[in-house]
Structure 1
Amino acid sequence: MKLTRKMVLSRAKAAELHSVRKLNCWGSRLTDISICREMPSLEVITLSVNSISSLEPVSRCRQLRELYLRKNRVPSLAELVHLKGLPRLRVLWLAENPCCGACPRLYRMTVLRNLPHLQRLDNQAVTEEEVSRALVEGEEVTAPSREDLGNGPPALSYVLSAVDATGETPRDPLSLGQEEASVQGQLGLKPPSRDRFPSFSQREAASSRKNRNNILTAILLLLRELDSEGLEAVHQTVVSRLQALQKQELQEDVE
């Protein structure tokens, strides 16, 4: 459902859109809030329990101080880019959206790194110590392209943008940073061989390596969100998979 001029004026009890300062649209089944671009004086807006996926329209609301978006369909923390230009934003409630992911700490650190002026996030006060940690532990996000929005799971968008912020081909796993490389070592993973596909044409081999590298890069980044129990489960799965592959290779050699 689209938020219309009539709905806004009725709920805000205002005569013109440019004069609206507070608006409550809780639980209104909204998917389109593009009309927010026409409300430059908006200071507080409640949009919780709807189906909103894009925050771009509120990027025009330069006076916005409080934004409530709990239980919507915001797919990626890359949407935070649209809030960076709001100098007065101090309260944000974004919990229970797909972009929050499985790691609350990484989510909170990423939000605070990109919006360090927040005083309250998801109904919890923000401390100066948190903001300082966020500048180190959080991820810097960039707005995804339209092509990116149409490919792959939305929850991965902000993670992948940290690796490929310029749109270039992701780095080869052999040249990953120390953190990703250490994860490989912990799981007992060997660097992929560059000569694994000798029977393929050069083009097919390059394409296959690129796809494999993209998948490996995404996996290594997602591992950062797991605790020790989760990493142990992954380790056991990897060991079992390696043993199965080694057994299969031995059988092929015998034949």
Structure 2
Amino acid sequence: MKLTRKMVLSRAKASELHNVRKLNCWGSRLTDISICREMPSLEVITLSVNSVSTLEPVSCCRRLSELYLRRNCIPNLDELFYLKDLPHLKVLWLAENPCCGTSPHLYRMTVLRNLPHLQKLDNQAVTEEELTRALMEGEEITAAPGREGVGSGCPKPSYTLNSITAETGRGLLSYTEEEADIQGQLSLKPSAGGPSPSFSQWDMLSSHKSKNILTAILLLLRELDTEGLEVVQQTVASRLQALHRQELQDME
């Protein structure tokens, strides 16, 4: 599937491509992101769980600071060539792509040798020691890759709830406004000039992890169409019924 102008403007809530700064296309079955060449102001983009096979289009996004590409079809680390001239790139998530190969150490060293300005790689902070070792143990990439055979045999994207939470929570697009809106819907906001509410739906959640998971789920719901929401509704109803039955059994 091709990422289109209409999709970009709708998801970014923007009127023109050159104004788009943050874009979330997580799990959208994308194979073609060539439209990124028309978004020079882009700073954060999430493309995880798609079928993207080249990084060339994002080489035009000179302001890019965060790039999330977990579980795509990037064939080899030569694709890093397209990221070497992005001076503001600080966060990269490239794990679970074919380019990662069978040696996690060589993969990480090669990425850091070619992108020494990264502060976080695959959700793990980059250390000064790693950057020093990368100069000796990583492979330098000096040319753009050939395009022959790229994208063939790509596995079907999959995901886990933990990965959704990690990428859609505090580290991904920093959805501060959307999170505030969601928390408001859950009675998180205190009344103006008054004390915080003593009890709310949010308070019922037993842990910080549960709150992060719920926030991630609610954010992702906004990306679903009617058919997808109906599936979610049916699944939730079935799960609630099962939990209620379990509670009744425990009371007997």
Q: Normalised by the shorter chain, which TM-score bucket?
A: 0.5 to 0.7
SS in 2 for 1:45: strand
Match of 2:39 in 1: 39
Paired amino acid for 1:18: H
Match of 1:163 in 2: none
Paired amino acid for 1:114: N
| Bigger CA radius of gyration | 1
Name the structure where helix makes up a greater proportion of residues: 1
5+ residue gaps, structure 2 = 154-252
Are 1:143 and 2:144 an aligned pair? yes
Q: Distance in 1 between matches of 2:20 and 2:149?
A: 34
Q: Distance in 2 between matches of 1:9 and 1:26?
A: 15
Query: Which whole-Å deviations, capped at 9, do the CAs of 1:118-156 have from their partners, x for residues lacking one?
Result: 00000000001100100110001232234xx349x99xx
Question: What is the TM-score normalised by the length of structure 1?
Answer: 0.58
Query: Which whole-Å deviations, capped at 9, do the CAs of 1:216-237 have from their partners, x for residues lacking one?
Result: xxxxxxxxxxxxxxxxxxxxxx
Match of 1:98 in 2: 98
Q: Distance in 2 between matches of 1:145 and 1:34?
A: 17
The higher-RCO structure (CA 8 Å, 6+ apart) is: 2
Identity of aligned residues (%): 79
Paired amino acid for 1:96: E
Q: Distance in 1 between matches of 2:94 and 2:57?
A: 16
Q: Distance in 2 between matches of 1:94 and 1:5?
A: 25
Q: Distance in 1 between matches of 2:135 and 2:72?
A: 27
Paired amino acid for 2:21: R
Paired amino acid for 1:119: Q
Paired amino acid for 2:51: S
5+ residue gaps, structure 1 = 155-255
Runs of 4+ in 1 over 4 A off after TM superposition: none
SS in 2 for 1:37: helix
Match of 1:26 in 2: 26
User: What is the CA distance between 1:60 and its match in structure 2?
Assistant: 0.2
SS in 2 for 1:139: coil
Q: Distance in 1 between matches of 2:44 and 2:79?
A: 19
Paired amino acid for 2:63: Q
Match of 1:59 in 2: 59
User: What is the CA distance between 1:108 and its match in structure 2?
Assistant: 0.1
Match of 2:192 in 1: none
Alignment of 1:83-232 (within 5 A): 83-141=83-141, 142-146=143-147, 149-150=148-149
Q: Distance in 1 between matches of 2:90 and 2:73?
A: 22
**What is the aligned residue count?**
151
Q: Distance in 2 between matches of 1:54 and 1:121?
A: 18
Match of 1:72 in 2: 72
Q: Distance in 2 between matches of 1:143 and 1:82?
A: 7
Q: Distance in 1 between matches of 2:149 and 2:17?
A: 33
Q: Distance in 2 between matches of 1:109 and 1:30?
A: 28
Q: Distance in 2 between matches of 1:143 and 1:9?
A: 30
CA RMSD of aligned residues (A): 1.5
Query: Which whole-Å deviations, capped at 9, do the CAs of 1:50-95 have from their partners, x for residues lacking one?
Result: 0000100000000000000000000010000000010000000000
SS in 1 for 2:99: helix
